[in-house]
């Protein structure tokens, strides 16, 4: 399998953490991809122009991190990161959606803030900041229920919080979210998280 990859993308990190947790990392060849380079050929693999995109052994291209992660989870016989059915599945998928939404708002805020001064929208930046704040408050309320079993929800939350530390360190999210901070301290010490910590260029 080949993964169109970026070392700083939190969505790609979800896939990499999933690959390590499921024992599949050695079966994936990484193809470094800068989606912001006008000359990038990512569109050959993903018409949406985004990473991650996974080229399977059969030559099919899967994209959107939830789809790629669930595909990888289907390839191993260990404990499933996507619970197969029932309440546990919906809880894991809901957590993944919440964390992915936190990442989406963070990325949108960063992109807007990075536009030339005078062309950005303060209303748009504030809208994303509020979405981030509400998502973090919701995660804080649920932090004590996260427990020990790792699911795709936990992985997505870990990658979202890692992205906040990487790109929004000044927000100091831990100050108002102590239970979530405690959970993240333990989760971020997993080998899969340590090996995938984002680094610039």
Site of interaction with ligand GSH (CB under 6 A) = 9, 11, 35, 49-52, 64-65, 100, 107
* Smallest gap from residue 144 Cβ to ligand GSH (A): 27
What percent helix, strand, coil does the chain show, rounded to 5? 60, 5, 35
> Given the structure tokens 């995660």, which residue do they identify?
139
| Tokens 């990888």 -> residue | 72
Min separation Cβ 63 and ligand GSH, Å: 6
Cα 48 from Cα 89, distance rounded (Å): 27
Provide, rounded to whole angstroms, the least separation between the CB of residue 148 and ligand GSH: 26
Sign of CA dihedral 29, 34, 38, 43: positive
Residue with tokens 């890692």: 162
Stretch (H or E) spanning 4: strand 2-5
Nearest-CB residue for ligand GSH: 50
CB-wise, 37 or 117, nearer to ligand GSH? Answer: 37
- Min dist. Cβ of residue 65 to ligand GSH (A): 3
Nearer to ligand GSH, 97 or 182 (CB): 97
Closer CB to ligand GSH, residue 51 or residue 180?
51
CB neighbourhood size of 32 (10 A): 10
Nearer to ligand GSH, 40 or 188 (CB): 40
């Amino acid at each position: 399998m080949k993964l169109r990859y970026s070392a700083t993308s939190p969505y790609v990190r979800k896939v990499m953490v999933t690959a390590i947790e499921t024992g599949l990392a050695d079966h994936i060849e990484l193809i470094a991809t800068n989606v912001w380079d006008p000359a990038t050929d990512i569109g050959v693999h993903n018409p949406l122009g985004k990473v991650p995109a996974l080229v399977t052994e059969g030559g099919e291209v899967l994209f959107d991190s939830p789809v790629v992660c669930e595909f990888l989870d289907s390839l191993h016989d260990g404990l499933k990161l996507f619970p197969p059915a029932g309440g546990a599945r919906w809880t894991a998928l809901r957590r993944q959606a919440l964390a992915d939404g936190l990442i989406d708002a963070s990325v949108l805020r960063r992109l807007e803030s990075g536009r030339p001064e005078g062309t950005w929208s303060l209303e748009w930046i504030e809208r994303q900041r509020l979405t981030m704040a509400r998502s973090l408050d919701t995660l804080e309320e649920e932090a004590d229920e996260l427990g020990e079993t790792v699911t795709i929800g936990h992985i997505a939350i870990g990658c979202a919080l890692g992205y906040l530390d990487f790109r929004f360190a000044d927000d100091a999210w831990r100050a108002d979210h102590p239970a979530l901070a405690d959970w993240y301290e333990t989760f971020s010490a997993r080998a899969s998280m340590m090996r995938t910590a984002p680094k610039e260029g």
